[in-house]
Amino acid sequence: MLQAGYSVIVGNHWSMTHPHNIPVLPQGLYLFKTVNRLQGNLMGMARGGGHTVAATDEEVLVFTDTPGYMLVFAENAAAACELFFAQSEAHKQAVETAYPHLAGKVKVVGNVRIDLLTPKNRTAFETHDDRVAPLRPYILFNTNYGTINSVWGNDPERLLSIAAATGMFDGEDKMKKYGEYKAVVAWEQANLRAMTELLQWTIANVRGLNIVLRPHPAEKPEYWQNVIQGAPNVHVIPRSDPHPWIIGAKLVVHTGCTTGLESVLLDKPVLNLAPADHPNCAQIVSEANAVARTVEDAAQAITMYLSSRSGPITTHAEQTAAALHKHLPSYRDEAAARLIAQALAEELGRRGAVPKRNYALQWRGRFTPIERDAWQKDKYMCTGSEMRRALRHAAETAGVNVKTRLGEIGEGLFMVTPA
């Protein structure tokens, strides 16, 4: 977008999408990364403020069927969206079937999360976390139980209300969707029990390796601190980017999590401990990863891999390749970000937008940076030096040569302008 002459605002979305600031920003285009009801509310405000609204749904990366693709795609998001980017033809068909008015407005581009994991691009992660190297060699356990081990607490009614706020129960058959939600809760509970048991087995039986446990950012790390009971070779790393830890791992273990897909895309051996498949949606990790249905089978698979590089973790490579080609045929193309940028530039041009270099921030005095809560700062923080470093790396990786100016317009919120 910078190369095309457009200025870009990136970062802290709480300030970017605040009702006071949406009408203050000069008319442009908002790109949303998800399409649940909460995002749909913001999308509606952005469109009402005269902005063009586009969206992707990076959260569906692990899914391969219509229930997964449409899991949280809310009606208000579909109503406000003027351009949607799908990760596959099947994803596009699911969206256009559910929301016929979006026909012709959905473009298949792939998924930018995959772009980042290709051999050329993954170097951005390799030195991103200086805690990784001192702990190698290690087994990485990635957990994903934000529904039952939630940072929001364990009150079922509160968690149910949060799920409802995202639009999870929207539609005519609310009771069916509520039943599906309860099935996911039961599925997570079974996964948590199995992962806890496997972690305890690994602590007791695997020697010569550290164990790194990475809870999902929506999880409370205290549960896992209690499980490990101070074991000296076990390290709980909360609120962390998964990619440096995956790259540094000798083996990755998860239960039905997107990190299982990211691990194979990063060429790492991986085991999916899955007492059962997801109750409502098909997941690519059920095909792309070696799967253990019991803790005993998982322990045996880990033992075989660590002792002799044999067993299901090693022999699953052919099935992994077949699953990737079937569900994510463009996964080697590194094209999603470029295709999205091209489509956004075309859409802006179609609406009469004229790229402006050396853009002046006449509106800055009216823009109100939002004071964020502690959990919001914990979820996202970025300094000016970190953003400059990221932009330099992105430009080098993409082969883009464009001079830019970086202005911080709020805490962790930046405007990048082509000079």
Give the tens place of pLDDT for each residue, 85-100: 999 999 999 999 999 9
Give the CATH number, domain containing residue 258: 3.40.50.2000
Report d(CA 166, CA 160) in Å as an integer.
Answer: 10
- Do 270 and 149 fall into the same domain? yes
- Do 378 and 316 fall into the same domain? no
Q: What is the pLDDT of residue 26?
A: 85
Q: Is residue 82 part of a domain?
A: yes
Q: Is residue 76 part of a domain?
A: yes
State the DSSP code for 101. G
Angle between helices 317-327 and 258-265 (to 10 degrees): 110
pTM beyond 0.75: yes
Q: Is residue 256 part of a domain?
A: yes
* Ordered per-residue pLDDT tens for the chain, 419 residues: 999 999 999 999 999 999 999 998 888 999 999 999 999 999 999 999 999 999 999 889 999 999 999 988 999 999 999 999 999 999 999 999 999 999 999 999 999 889 889 888 887 787 678 899 999 999 999 999 988 887 666 666 666 676 667 776 677 677 777 788 889 889 999 999 999 999 999 999 999 999 999 999 889 899 999 999 889 999 999 988 899 999 999 999 999 999 999 999 999 999 999 999 999 999 999 999 999 999 999 999 999 999 999 999 999 999 999 999 999 988 888 889 999 999 999 999 999 998 887 777 777 778 888 888 887 887 788 999 999 988 888 888 778 888 999 999 889 999 999 98
- Do 137 and 110 fall into the same domain? no
Q: Is residue 1 part of a domain?
A: no
Nearest to 270 by CA among 296, 284, 289: 289
How many domains are there within the chain? Answer: 2
Q: Is residue 346 part of a domain?
A: yes
pLDDT (tens digit per residue) in 349-369? 999 998 887 777 777 778 888
Q: Which of 299, 327, 355 is the last residue of a domain?
A: 327
- Do 131 and 23 fall into the same domain? no
Q: Is residue 2 part of a domain?
A: no
343 is in which domain, residue-wise? 8-115+332-418
- Do 167 and 273 fall into the same domain? yes
Q: Is residue 235 part of a domain?
A: yes
- Do 205 and 323 fall into the same domain? yes
- Do 302 and 228 fall into the same domain? yes
- Do 63 and 210 fall into the same domain? no
Q: What is the pLDDT of residue 195?
A: 98
Token pair of 175 as six digits: 């009771």
Nearest to 202 by CA among 139, 144, 262: 139
Q: Which of 327, 355, 383 is the last residue of a domain?
A: 327
- Do 71 and 143 fall into the same domain? no
Q: Starting from the edge strand earliest in sequence, which strands make up the sheet with 29-32, in order?
A: 29-32, 52-56, 83-86, 106-108
Q: 61 Cβ partners below 8 Å, 6+ apart?
A: 87, 111, 113, 114, 258, 261
Token pair of 355 as six digits: 């790229």
Token pair of 69 as six digits: 């693709």
Residue 298 · residue 198 · CB < 8 Å:
yes
State the DSSP code for 26. P
- Do 150 and 275 fall into the same domain? yes
Report d(CA 188, CA 402) in Å as an integer.
Answer: 47
Q: Which of 300, 327, 354 is the last residue of a domain?
A: 327
Report d(CA 340, CA 362) in Å as an integer.
Answer: 28
Nearest to 20 by CA among 52, 49, 55, 58: 49
Q: Is residue 80 part of a domain?
A: yes
- Do 160 and 18 fall into the same domain? no
- Do 242 and 294 fall into the same domain? yes
Q: What is the pLDDT of residue 379?
A: 79
